[in-house]
């Protein structure tokens, strides 16, 4: 066996933030000082290595000098502590209105996971996305006009269409925000979402875009142009914090992992 030194490429203030959250969590639980194999700081490093490197928990636990089961327990605890800090949708919308944002951007992303059990009424796999041809969970997210991630929803099985997931987790609050002057832009997957959710008009089947009226084509171009920065939102979360690219834990952890990555991303400077 060969040992080597390594550097965690995460700003130190993020490690210290998570360490403080973990220490506060231990105090709430009444954990005696010194009774854990790892202190809050070393546990924070283990958790952030998993988010940043998407490494196997067995290897992370070995490097930290704890059993694999303890490594999983520490990781789950870290994810929960971070996910609890994720902003509520209504709070996000309120802050956006107070900062006079012109609009928000709604989109969905598939957070891949290992194949899991679950069958729909029609016999198809519940967690399989026909759109992406992969297993995973459908997460909805909101972004600011500049593409900054603001909010991530609970995750629905991958077979759930974007419009259905949005109706469950986002649209009721977005309707109220739109009525108060904060509209939302979305792609064609949200056609029929309702008033205040602006989507491009679909061209007639079998015809080119030129079949649409000039005003409609202009509107489509404007919506697509304003939404262009949205393409970086999910990529920023998945590339900076690689764990949401593919969650190898139980699918029940997909949503918490995405929200935890959002919290970490909001503190990256």
Output DSSP code: residue 94. H
Rounded-to-integer distance, Cα 234 and Cα 23, Å: 30
Same domain flag for 37 and 57:
yes
* Backbone φ and ψ of 37, nearest 5°: -65, -35
Pair type for strands 128-129 and 134-143: antiparallel
180, 107: one domain = yes
Same domain, 101 and 220: yes
* φ, ψ at 104 (rounded to 5°): -120, 165
| Cβ atoms within 10 Å, residue 177 | 23
129 strand-pairing partners: 134
Residues 31, 141, single domain; the answer is: no
Domain termination residue (choose one: 48, 83, 118): 83
Domain count, the chain: 2
Q: Are 82 and 260 in contact (CB under 8 A)?
A: yes
96 in the same domain as 75: no
Quick one: 19 and 94 in the same domain?
no
Q: Is residue 76 domain-shared with residue 108, that is, in the same domain? A: no
The answer to whether position 196 is within a domain reads yes
Q: How do the pLDDT tens digits run along the chain, 269 residues long?
A: 677 667 888 899 999 999 999 999 999 999 898 889 999 999 999 999 999 988 788 989 998 899 999 999 999 999 999 999 999 999 999 999 999 999 999 999 999 987 666 766 666 788 888 888 888 999 999 999 988 999 999 999 988 999 999 999 999 999 999 999 999 999 988 998 899 999 888 777 766 676 777 787 787 778 888 787 777 777 888 888 888 888 888 888 999 999 999 999 999 87
Last residue of some domain: 60, 83, 106?
83
What is the domain range of residue 177?
A: 89-248
């Amino acid at each position: 066996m060969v040992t080597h030194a390594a550097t965690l490429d995460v700003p130190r203030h993020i490690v210290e933030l998570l360490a403080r959250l973990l220490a506060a969590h231990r105090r709430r639980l009444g954990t005696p000082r010194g009774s854990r194999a790892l202190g809050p700081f070393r546990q924070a490093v283990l958790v952030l290595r998993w988010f940043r490197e998407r490494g196997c928990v067995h290897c992370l636990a070995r490097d930290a000098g704890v059993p694999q089961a303890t490594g999983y327990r520490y990781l789950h605890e870290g994810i929960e502590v971070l996910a609890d800090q994720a902003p509520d949708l209504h709070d996000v919308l309120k802050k956006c209105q107070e900062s006079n944002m012109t609009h928000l951007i709604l989109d969905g992303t598939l957070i891949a996971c290992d194949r899991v059990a679950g069958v729909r009424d029609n016999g198809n796999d519940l967690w399989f996305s026909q759109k992406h041809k992969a297993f995973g969970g459908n997460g909805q997210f909101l972004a600011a006009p500049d593409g900054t991630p603001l909010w991530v929803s609970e995750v629905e099985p991958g077979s759930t269409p974007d419009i259905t997931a949005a109706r469950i987790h986002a649209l009721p609050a977005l309707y109220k925000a739109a009525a108060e002057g904060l509209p939302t832009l979305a792609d064609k997957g949200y056609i029929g979402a309702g008033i205040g959710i602006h989507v491009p008009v679909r061209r007639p089947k079998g015809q080119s875009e030129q079949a649409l009226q000039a005003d409609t084509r202009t509107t489509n171009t404007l919506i697509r142009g304003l939404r262009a920065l949205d393409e970086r939102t999910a990529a920023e979360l998945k590339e900076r914090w690689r764990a949401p690219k593919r969650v190898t834990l139980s699918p029940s952890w997909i949503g918490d992992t995405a929200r935890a990555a959002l919290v970490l991303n909001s503190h990256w400077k």
